[in-house]
Chain A
Amino acid sequence: MTETIVRRTAGWLTAIGRSVARIGWPRTDKDRAAVMISSLFLHIHPARVSRHALRPRATLGLGLVSAVLFGVLTVTGLALMLYYVPYPNEAYRSMKDLQFVVTFGVVLRNMHRWSAHAMVAVVFLHLCRVFWTGSYKAPREFNWIVGVSLLLLTLALSFTGYLLPWDQLAYWAITVGSSIAAYTPLVGREVKFLLLGGHVIGPMTLLRFYVFHCVVLPGLVVMLVSLHIWRVRKDGLSGPTVTVAPVEETGGVFPPSTKTYGLMALTRRPSASVAARDPHDEVFAWPHLLYRELLVTLAVVVALHIVSLLFNAPLEEMADPTRTPNPAKAPWYFLGLQELVHYSAFVGGVLVPTAIVAALIALPYLDRNPHGAGVWFASERRLANTIFTAIVAVAIVLTVVGTLFRGANWAWVWPW
């Protein structure tokens, strides 16, 4: 009697579990491949990946790290929303509450701020990696554009984010940022009015940036990241086509695939990227890719915790419209821009950024050189790499100058 009840209960639980996860804990390579295919969250992985894509130096894992950082930012951001009040002065007081009153509030705020800084850096490095390995070449041209949009959204999220504490940094960043927007030809003044929700910075301004930061921009990022990863999944990672000996898997030698993924009735031939794959170079994504990803995720989260426990996120004095700090400096990732704006607001704040974004978007269509995809600093694309590296170097020099060599009234100072 009891045995029957236990057996039946166990049967139900298994049935319920299977209805959710479809496959029990996978014990064979075939089961693991099936999980990758049938699970929504793992479906962004292929069942098999090429061994070259697993090498750390192929991608440096920068895309994954960006995604992990965005996840951390979402979780910590949601938590912070419970204590944050988007109203001038109240916003600053809620920052002080998070620092001194709320248990673990300061750690959550630190994690949110440091993840944001890290995400700007990592997304930028990801862009550099993709350029230096020529990975924007066909068929990945459009995904490069999605990636450029994600870089811009990352910067916009950072900017709107450090406005919210309503400290001096926030207030003067809004002042300068909205004034730069006003330099846009034709629509500048209207754009500034829409951003501020009026002629002067006030509660409407803070509320608008709050909605941008917490709803509009993250929503766009989620959509574009999904598209970005989905296309990476469909195109596969760029890399040289190599022929190697069959891989020994735990389930035996993996047989060469003869399957093509063409839609028989609709297209004439299978998709090129699938056909070009060498099955001998592939291993199962679970465990080879999945465990590496979990390890990188763990490393990022642990590193963020250590940094957040050791270093507090900056918070300046409460916003004071009557007193501009001297010098009033933006966070490091905008200091190159600030250095440019110091020469001309229109050229540095509108023209150069627009030109850079336009060049980045046009790049995969301008660069018709088919060689060097998936290879670091390929010798066939010496010109492209030289130009890009020079522009990155200029950006870094401007940032270093803005960070270390500028003092009161933005005058030149020596840091030593």
Chain B
Amino acid sequence: MSVTPDRAADGANRRQFFLAGVVALGVSVTGFVASTLRFLVPNVLYEPPGRFTIGNPADFPPGSVTFLEDRRLFVFNTAEGFYGVSSVCTHLGCNVKRGGPGFQCPCHGSQFDDSGRVARGPAPTPLAWYALSLSARGELVVDVDRTVGPDFRLRV
């Protein structure tokens, strides 16, 4: 039995062998790139939880607006009940400040009215309203992963 130099015993010729090599190289490079991208996505995040307590309702006097700066959250206590408005500008994430009527953003000039609706500027959506609830011990709980509409009130 004789095998010609460019034909192996199973009949694959040089061209097919080369093609198989190119395909194998492509597959391994694609796999490498994909696994590198996946590597960049962390599996464990050491981040503060989205649900946290902010204290007793009695800590917030009636008719007051409290800014919890480390939570980036305005807590309103009105006659109809409690609600929480995020201070994170929906435009590009700066902290809005209360000033005049509503809220003002220092970075790109967005302005919001008292309930967080866009009054002027580039912000695309109103400020986020977070769901408030009471814990078993009667403390106010904020859940930043649950947003609610501007008619939300928590009666205590």
Contacts and interface: CB of A to CB of B under 8 A. Distances in A.
Interface in A330-355: 338, 341-345, 349
Contacts of A176: 92-94, 107
A208 to B, nearest CB: 8
Nearest to A198: B45
Nearest to A412: B109
A338 B104 CA distance: 17
Contact of B45 (A172, A178, A199, A323): A199
Contacts of A299: none
A41 B135 CA distance: 71
Interface string B103-129: 011111101000000000110100000
Interface residues of A, number: 33
A138 B143 CA distance: 60
Interface string A178-197: 11100000000000011001
B97 interface: yes
Given A198-B45, A199-B45, A342-B122, A411 B109 contact: yes
B70 interface: yes
| Interface size classification for chain B | 20 to 34
Contact of B108 (A178, A193, A199, A342): A342
Q: Most A CB atoms within 10 A — which of B91, B93, B105?
A: B93
Given A172-B107, A327-B106, A202 B94 contact: no
Contact of B122 (A175, A178, A326, A343): A343
Nearest to A190: B41
A16 to B, nearest CB: 44
B40 interface: yes
Contact of B42 (A198, A341, A349, A408): A198
Contacts of B72: 321-322
A410 B104 CA distance: 10
Interface in B25-45: 40-42, 45
B106 A328 contact: yes
Interface in A264-289: none
A210 to B, nearest CB: 15
Interface of A: 172, 175-176, 178-180, 193-194, 197-200, 202, 204, 321-328, 338, 341-345, 349, 408-411
B46 A324 contact: no
Given A172-B107, A411-B109, A328 B122 contact: no
A411 B70 CA distance: 27
Contact of A324 (B42, B107, B109, B111): B107
Interface of B: 40-42, 45-48, 69-70, 72, 91-95, 97, 99, 104-109, 111, 121-122, 124
Contacts of A204: 42
Contact of B92 (A180, A194, A408): A180
Contacts of B111: 409
Nearest to A406: B109
Contacts of B94: 172, 175-176, 324, 328
A338 B105 CA distance: 14
B44 to A, nearest CB: 10
Contacts of A344: 122
Contacts of A328: 94, 106-107
A321 B70 CA distance: 7
Contacts of A323: 69, 95
A108 B18 CA distance: 54
Given A175-B93, A322-B70, A323-B69, A200 B48 contact: yes
A200 B72 CA distance: 13
A341 B122 contact: yes
Q: Is the interface of B mostly helix, strand, loop or mixed?
A: loop
Contacts of A326: 97, 106
A325 B122 CA distance: 19
A176 B92 CA distance: 5
Given A176-B94, A328-B94, A197 B42 contact: yes
A224 B2 CA distance: 52
22 contacts: A172-B94, A176-B92, A194-B40, A197-B40, A198-B42, A198-B45, A200-B48, A202-B46, A321-B72, A322-B69, A323-B69, A324-B97, A326-B97, A327-B107, A341-B92, A342-B109, A342-B121, A345-B91, A345-B124, A409-B105, A410-B106, A410-B109
Contacts of A175: 92-94
A339 to B, nearest CB: 9
B107 A345 contact: no
Q: Which 3 A-B pairs have the closest CB atoms?
A: A410-B109, A326-B106, A322-B69
Contacts of B40: 194, 197
A199 B42 CA distance: 11
Contacts of A178: 93
Given A179-B93, A328-B94, A410 B45 contact: no
Contacts of B91: 179, 345
A189 to B, nearest CB: 12
Contacts of B122: 341-345
